[in-house]
Amino acid sequence: MPTPDKAAAVAELTDKFRSSNAAVLTEYRGLTVAQLKQLRRSLGANSEYAVVKNTLTKIAANEAGINTLDDLFTGPTAVAFVTGDPVESAKGLRDFAKENPNLVIKGGVLDGKALSADEIKKLADLESREVLLAKLAGAMKGKQSQAAALFQALPSKFVRTAEALRAKKAEQGGAE
């Protein structure tokens, strides 16, 4: 029979899994409290980093419909719940892990799809959503200006061709 505290903890974790875009499981063995505080800051405002109990978190993940993480709940585990841009949080975790080898990224889930540690590192290599949107907008603007130049060139070319034809006819008419 679960205690009310454990049931409340499972309910809270289930809610976090359901409301998050992504969740990344890490092992934090050997990190100090100061380092964990620094890690929380490096993840950004759209992430929450929580040290969790494996059994309760596994139950919560299963209740949220996430069954792919069961093998990762071993050893001291902490979860980064991401509600915003997952790329920003993945970069924060990757960069912190480079400086602090005690932080080990185990894996995670993004929009219901399981991610390995390598896939999370690849996600961290992506540019942010804002940068990608800006590049897309720039490419679209460039294509529009190319299309406008093409459409403008067609009537201009037609006018030059018609003028050359008129001049040639006038020259032939004057020679006869």
What is the dihedral angle through the alpha carbons of 34, 49, 72, 93, rounded to the nearest 10 degrees? -70
Q: How many domains does the chain have?
A: 2
Q: Are residues 115 and 145 in the same domain?
A: no
d(CA 18, CA 112): 10
Q: Are residues 91 and 171 in the same domain?
A: no
- Spell out the per-residue pLDDT of the chain, length 176, in tens: 578 888 888 899 889 988 888 889 988 888 888 888 888 888 878 888 888 888 898 888 888 888 888 888 888 888 989 888 788 888 888 888 888 888 888 888 888 788 888 888 888 777 666 776 787 777 777 677 776 776 777 777 777 888 888 888 888 875 55
Q: Are residues 53 and 24 in the same domain?
A: yes
CATH of the domain at 41: 3.30.70.1730
Which amino acid makes up residue 2? P
State the residue range of the domain holding 157.
129-175
Q: Are residues 50 and 88 in the same domain?
A: yes
Burial annotation 60-99 (CB, 10 A radius, 16+ → b, else e): bbeebebeebeebbeeebbbbbbeebbbbbbbbbbebbee
d(CA 27, CA 49): 12
Q: Are residues 92 and 20 in the same domain?
A: yes
Q: Are residues 26 and 108 in the same domain?
A: yes
Q: Are residues 31 and 112 in the same domain?
A: yes
pTM, two decimal places: 0.67
pLDDT of residue 176: 52
Q: Are residues 110 and 133 in the same domain?
A: no
Q: Are residues 67 and 79 in the same domain?
A: yes
